[in-house]
Every structure is written in C-alpha cells, then in structure tokens.
Amino acid sequence: MIHTYIPFCPRDIDGGRNLGYAYNTFMEMIGEDDWACFLDHDAMFTTPDWYRQFEEVVARYPDAGEFSVVTNRIGNQVQLYTDPDIPDLSHNHDLLVHRRIGAALKEEKGIEAVEYTRAHKRGLSGLAILTSKRAWRLVGGFTDGFLGVDWDYSLRCTEKGLKIYILRGVYVYHWYREKI
C-alpha cells in the first residue's frame, strides 16, 4: 500500500522545524511492505490519477530507493519543468494551467522514470518523495532537521546501492517561497 502524508512537526519538537522527525514518525506507523508519499505543504498533485501512476512505478521498480517528480518551481533544475510557450511559468499560479501541464505530461510520459545519479552532486528536492519502508530502514531513516533532509536521504539511498528516480509524467504544482 502507498500512504500519502503531508508532514508536520509539532512545535514542542525542535520548535516545529524537524522535518526528519515527522517523516520518521510516519514511517514507523506504516507496514513493512508499504510505501510512503510525502508531499510538501505548499504543493499539490495536478491530475486525479497520480496515485495510479505511483502504483505502477512501484510495481515496475520495487527495489528503488526513492522517487520524486517534476514541478514548476524548485531549486533543483533537473526536476524543473519549463515550457517556452508559457512565459514565467515559475510565477504563474493559474491552477488550470498547471492541471493542463500535469495532464499532458501524464499522457506523454506516463510512468517514465529517469534515474538520478550522484553525478548530479545533490539529492532530489523533496517536494514529493515516494519511498518504501524497506529503503527507509536500509538507509537508517531520515536525518533530524529541516533543510537538506531530502537531499541527505537521496544521497544515502545511492550510498546503499539503491537507485533514485525522477518521474517525468508526474507533475506537481509548487508554491515554493513565492511572495504573496
């Protein structure tokens, strides 16, 4: 089973800024053969059937360490979706535009998974993380902290010989530090 969770750290744990604690607490609760999908609080899936894509990719790559997605707004350029026909996409917050992008990428790319290697010299950005409890146990869980927890997990997956992937057909809208 795949469980979806928007992590939140209580204020009494490191002032509410320990994302690793929130991830690990959730991972302890799921079954040994289960997977967890963590979604940032400022992100949203753009298609109604993203869950089916995750089911298919987990069935195809059961030994993967981690999957992430493409998005409109992120520091990791490998995960950034751009479209020359949509100027300034990273500042476009019209959800209909993002839903259309998500639908088009799902249709075009499906469950295409592109391996992300250590050659990139940074981990995956964790706006959406899909990982198994088995992988989580193998790497020793998420590190405590807030920033960099996602990158660290990716790098530790690769150190343990687990492959990590970007799902090119799953597009997530991400507000990510935009000013109001």
b/e map of 101-123 (b: 16 or more CB within 10 Å)? Answer: bbeebbeebebebeebeeeeebb
Q: What are the structural domains, with CATH classification, of the chain?
A: 2-174 (3.90.550.10)
pLDDT per residue, tens digit, the chain (180 aa), is 999 999 887 787 777 678 999 999 999 999 999 999 999 999 999 999 999 999 999 999 999 999 999 999 998 889 999 999 998 999 999 999 999 999 999 999 999 999 998 777 778 888 999 999 999 999 999 998 778 889 899 999 999 999 999 999 999 999 977 776
- The pLDDT value recorded for residue 180 is 66
- The pLDDT value recorded for residue 121 is 72
Angle at 79 between CA 34 and CA 168, to 5 degrees: 65
pTM of the predicted structure, to 2 decimals: 0.92
Determine the Cα–Cα distance for residues 137 and 89; give it in Å rounded to an integer: 38
Cα 136 from chain centroid (whole Å): 14
